[in-house]
Amino acid sequence: MATKAALEAQLAVVAGFEAPKVSLEQYPTPPDLAAHLVHLADLRGDIESTTVLDLGTGTGMLALGAALRSPARVVGVELDPDALDTALDNARRVGASAPIHWIRGDATRLPLCLPDDQPVTVLMNPPFGAQRGNEHADRAFLDAVSRVADVSYSVHNEGSKEFVESFVADADGELTDAFRATFDLERQFDFHDADRRELDAEVFRIEW
């Protein structure tokens, strides 16, 4: 298996959102966090020969990270066609060899059927539900995940652990790993007053 550092270097070419939409909470996953998540998932046996689903794939960062390892296939689902254009460009830049399918649709009402003879791993950095009008967006995503995934890795905003734990317990799943991560975000939206901003996030591995 290649190193995490090698994966991060390969993901450094992934471009961000061309015109990020605040209503969709379009924050790109930084390459170091994407590499961390994918490498960890691969070490745990959750990537090789599995179907990897990236819900709210945006720039394609997590999907492409997985595609640089050895999954059976990768599927990126995204509502915004402009973001999918960016993901397609990024796929060309990264040049991963695993088959990748890009699907335009609502990840909370998954527009696809998956083969049931292969394990499904979800990797996602969904909308956090931090914007007004979009509250609990991560709940709808977790709900979709609970229906299709054997295991998932998801990024949430700080302070989500209690909510995620109780959601997972209700679904008879198990939260097996939890760790904190810091996003170093470049200024993206007008309401950000600093050029760079740090966002505290939490990452969870869940067996469903």
**Residue-wise over 15-49: b if at least 16 C-beta within 10 A, else e?**
ebbeebeeebbbbbbbbbbbbbbbbbbbeeebbee
- Choosing from 35, 41, 53, 83, the residue that interacts with ligand SAH (CB under 6 A) is 83
Site for ligand SAH in 157-176 (CB under 6 A): none
- Helix count (H) and strand count (E) of the chain? 6, 7
Q: Which is nearer to ligand SAH, 168 or 185 (CB)?
A: 185
- Our finding on whether 138 is near ligand SAH (CB under 6 A) is no
Measure the CA–CA gap between 104 and 57, rounded to whole angstroms: 10
Sole window of 91-99, 121-129, 160-168, 200-208 interacting with ligand SAH (rule: CB under 6 A):
121-129
- Choosing from 77, 94, 185, 206, the residue that interacts with ligand SAH (CB under 6 A) is 77
Q: Is the torsion defined by CA of 184, 132, 25, 151 positive or negative?
A: positive
Residue 147 tokens read as 């229906």
Sole window of 45-53, 75-83, 167-175, 183-191 interacting with ligand SAH (rule: CB under 6 A):
75-83
Q: Which is nearer to ligand SAH, 8 or 78 (CB)?
A: 78
Q: Is the torsion defined by CA of 202, 143, 103, 41 positive or negative?
A: positive
Per-residue contact track with ligand SAH, 8 to 27, x per CB under 6 A? ----------------xxxx
Start-to-end Cα distance in the chain = 26
Site for ligand SAH in 35-74 (CB under 6 A): 56-59, 61-62
* Site of interaction with ligand SAH (CB under 6 A): 24-29, 56-59, 61-62, 77-80, 83, 106-108, 125-127
